[in-house]
Amino acid sequence: MAGASPSARADVVVPPDWATATATVSSERAPPVVVVCGPKNAGKSTFSRLLLNSLLPRYGRVGYLDTDVGQPEFSPPGCLSFHVVDEAFTDLQNPTLRESERSCFFGDISSKRDPETYLNCLFHLYDYFVQKYRSGASEPLPLIVNTPGWVKGAGFDMLVEMLRYICPTVVVQLRISARSKNLPDGMFWLDCEQTGPTMININAPFHDALNRSLLIQKDSYGMRERRLIEYFKQCIPSDISLTTNKELAYALTSLPPYEVSISDVMVKHLHCQVPPSEVWHSLNATIVGLAISCGTTEAGRSITWCAGLGIVRGVDVQKGIIYVITPVPLEHLQSVDLLLQGLIEIPKSLLQVKGCVSPYMPTNVLHRISEGDMNT
């Protein structure tokens, strides 16, 4: 792979160390629980897809725990989710939207805003997997856990906690040439010499002429927007062809919304404190997680599962009705009793289409200090 130019990435060539790693993992005696970690843009997601493909033939179904709220594999941004996949990836380089088996709405694109809640979501999903597909299951499933690019600081601390909780059987660590940006060697999350899992170190696949790792260049903001657009496109029947964002914006504005009675749902702001009098001003024209509260666990943590995302189209306070559009099927919506507001923004490209411009997209917005003011 040395010397491969970024443009040559279109055709996937599996580096030898990657092939060895996937072979090792898929020949483990028991179904493995694999955590893939390493710095950002090194190729964790790509490797996870490859690994999933190589586990499928033997197990038929593979669990996938998606923990990267910024760039999720199967879900819209802001969600942690657990999936059971029985179909191989055809595109190893791009994420695809798939319905989750269980999902939590964290509501931000980085876990840093609320590590505790984030880990709670993650642990819940893992517990769910263990309960349903490991302990007592006649054919236990293997699990792949893809992590965000956690290497240092708060992220590192979270990774440690997560590894301690999950106790994986295999940890795959991606490494890049800039040594200081890698995770520590060995079983960094264990205090003393315990019997740990199989450790596999692999290298980022692309290198320049000096054998320095080339990180995958991503426009993460654009990716998130496209993700959300793809997600809300599901509101429109699939036989309608919508090729442009403009068409989608028209279609979404024309969609009859669901009526949700204010008294039937609770509103929870995940990352901001909003005074009760201002809730509707806060919620109008934003993306919300449609959640189902399920009481509390033995550990005292409250669980809310997320049925999907919705856009609040309007609020009629007098009538007590919120208007929501969402691709979530009606039968799932019936149990939704919680609207979670996070910080996931509606893609701007949907808000400024001529003909249906959002009132939150005005003109004449001062966005820098004009020179006239500076002379004063």
Partner 1 sequence: MEEAEGTLEVAGRFYGGGGGGGLSTGRKLVPWSSWAEWRLVRDGLFSPCPVAALRRIAAWRSRGSLPVPVDVTAAFVEIRLRDPFFRSVMAVDDVLESEEMLAMLYSMAIMRLVNGFVENPHKKTGYSISELAEAIGIPRVLVDIRHESSHRSLPSLRLLRLAAIKAFDWLKCIYWDSQTNALPDVQVEVRSKLHEINHFLKGKDSMKAKSGSKRKRSEKVISRNIKYVRRLYYTCPSEVASVILDIFQLDAAESSENSDVQTDSLDVDQSSDIHNQISNNDMKTIVTKLSEKEPRLLLGILKSVIETIETVEGLENKGERCIVDAVLLLIEMASNNVKEKLLKLPVLSLGKVARDSTLPESTKEIESVEKATEKLDMFKSRLKQKDLCLAENDTRVAVLPTLDVVDHEFKDDILEQHVNFEPDDHTERNGYKFNHPEKQLDPESIPEMATPSPECEISDMPELAFPLKGRLLVGGVWKVVSEEELLFIKSKMKFLL
Which one, 167 or 357, has the nearer CB to partner 1?
A: 357
Cβ of 351: how many Cβ atoms within 10 Å?
16
Which one, 55 or 325, has the nearer CB to partner 1?
A: 325
Does the protein bind partner 1 through residue 236 (CB under 8 A)? yes
Residue type, 254: S
Closest CB 281 distance from partner 1, rounded Å: 4
109, 345, 285, 113 alpha-carbon torsion, rounded to 10°: 30
Residues 131-190 that bind partner 1 (CB under 8 A): none
- List Cβ neighbours of 183 (8 Å cut-off, separation of 6 or more): 37, 38, 39, 151, 156, 159, 173
Which one, 237 or 295, has the nearer CB to partner 1?
A: 237
Q: By C-alpha distance, which of 288, 332, 292 is closest to 312? A: 288
Residues in contact with partner 1, counted by CB under 8 A, come to a total of 82
Among 254, 295, 298, 300, binds partner 1 (CB under 8 A): 254
Closest CB 307 distance from partner 1, rounded Å: 10
Residues 299-318 that bind partner 1 (CB under 8 A): 311-318
| Number of alpha carbons in the 13 Å side-chain half-sphere of residue 322 | 28
Closest CB 224 distance from partner 1, rounded Å: 13
Closest CB 306 distance from partner 1, rounded Å: 15
Distance of CA 354 to the CA centre of its chain: 31
First-to-last C-alpha distance (Å) of the chain? 59
Residues 44-73 that bind partner 1 (CB under 8 A): none
Say how far apart CA 308 and CA 146 lie, in whole Å: 21
Which one, 158 or 328, has the nearer CB to partner 1?
A: 328
Closest CB 112 distance from partner 1, rounded Å: 16
Residues 328-367 that bind partner 1 (CB under 8 A): 330, 333-334, 336-337, 341, 343, 345, 348, 351-352, 354-367
Q: What is the DSSP string of 178-222?
A: SGGGSPPSS-TT-SS-----EEEEEE-S-B-TT-PBPPPP--HHH
Q: What is the DSSP string of 61-107?
A: -EEEEE--SSS-SSS-TTEEEEEEE-S--S-SSS------SEEEE--
Which one, 16 or 360, has the nearer CB to partner 1?
A: 360
Residues 262-291 that bind partner 1 (CB under 8 A): 264-265, 269, 271-275, 277-282, 284-286
Q: Is 42 exposed, middle or buried (0-12, 13-18, 19+ CB in 10 A)?
A: buried
Which one, 177 or 282, has the nearer CB to partner 1?
A: 282
Residues 7-36 that bind partner 1 (CB under 8 A): none
Closest CB 277 distance from partner 1, rounded Å: 6
Closest CB 309 distance from partner 1, rounded Å: 14
